[in-house]
Amino acid sequence: MNQEVIITAALTGAGDTVGKSEHVPVTPEQIATSAVEAANAGAAVVHIHVRDIETGQGSREVPLYREVVRTLRESDVDVVINLTAGMGGDLFIDQEDPLKPVDGTDLVNGLERLPHVEELLPDICTMDCGSLNFGEGSQLYISTPDMLRAGAARIQELGVKPELEIFDSGQLWFATKLIEEGLIDSPPLFQLCMGIPYGAPADLGVLQALVNMLPADANWASFAIGRNQFPWVAASALLGGQVRVDLEDNLYLSKGVKATNAQLVERAVTIVEGMGGTVATPDQAREKLGLKRRG
């Protein structure tokens, strides 16, 4: 078991959840406030998406990221900042005419997904390590080997730690190729993402298989969506990993009871401490993950 557990809070995501819970933060001020509350509850890391203020939909507008990060850095709360770099990979297909543009598509190359990372230099940014049939219908998430190599090289130049988002075993296979090619610095950081249709299912045997594939020096965390979020806190810690809880992937504290990010973090702290572990501070997380403290 991991005795010193890093808790990440993924605050808002980009999914269609704003209308499902009043606790999902939308504006930069709300996202930053939720980050501070999650940090005070025990999260060492906050994973940040931003949303269009008018529509509530996911956005990759740099000014929105700038405002969240500025507010966090000016606060008196210490927390490791993890910005998504996954926006810009959405492709919707028309079944009758696959080359026809379809509303909702937001598809850009690997480097065009990074301007907020280049400007703001977070501690960590994510890299979604492969393409995926994303749920039912005709939506795909696109992240090709060429896109990933270009993005990894640029992130490495910036001195930002990439969090390698793994949605299935083939993506983990490719991520190890990036490491072998020298595009990911040691120690690598993995996030094993479970239960997202149609990637790796939220199955403990699958989680163990993915953990068995990790490089020997890897730091890793795992999460599962929905009702599996809290069991995955225990499973990840037991297998030696870090944990993630969030409104990005789960809206409920218990059946019918909607949660805030801080409440989800508090529950994760209770689980970790109840298992005999301790919760890592931001500085302990930086040391473990090989991060530089930024001003």
Span 3-25, pLDDT tens digits: 999 999 999 999 999 999 999 99
Q: Which domain holds residue 135?
A: 4-289
**Region of residue 142 (phi > 0: left; psi between -120 and 50: alpha; otherwise: beta):** beta
pLDDT tens readout for residues 209-261? 999 999 999 999 999 999 999 999 999 999 999 999 999 999 999 999 999 99
The token duo for 56 is 């509530």
| pLDDT bucket at 292, cuts 50 / 70 / 90 | confident
The verdict on residue 295 lying in a domain is no
| pLDDT bucket at 295, cuts 50 / 70 / 90 | low
The verdict on residue 275 lying in a domain is yes
The verdict on residue 149 lying in a domain is yes
Instruction: Give the domain CATH number at 180.
Output: 3.20.20.70
pLDDT at 294: 63
Domain count, the chain: 1
Question: Phi and psi of 125, rounded to 5°?
Answer: -135, 155
The verdict on residue 210 lying in a domain is yes
The verdict on residue 48 lying in a domain is yes
The verdict on residue 180 lying in a domain is yes
Amino acid occupying residue 5 = V
pLDDT tens readout for residues 49-67? 999 999 999 999 999 999 9
The verdict on residue 294 lying in a domain is no
pTM given for the model: 0.97
The verdict on residue 281 lying in a domain is yes
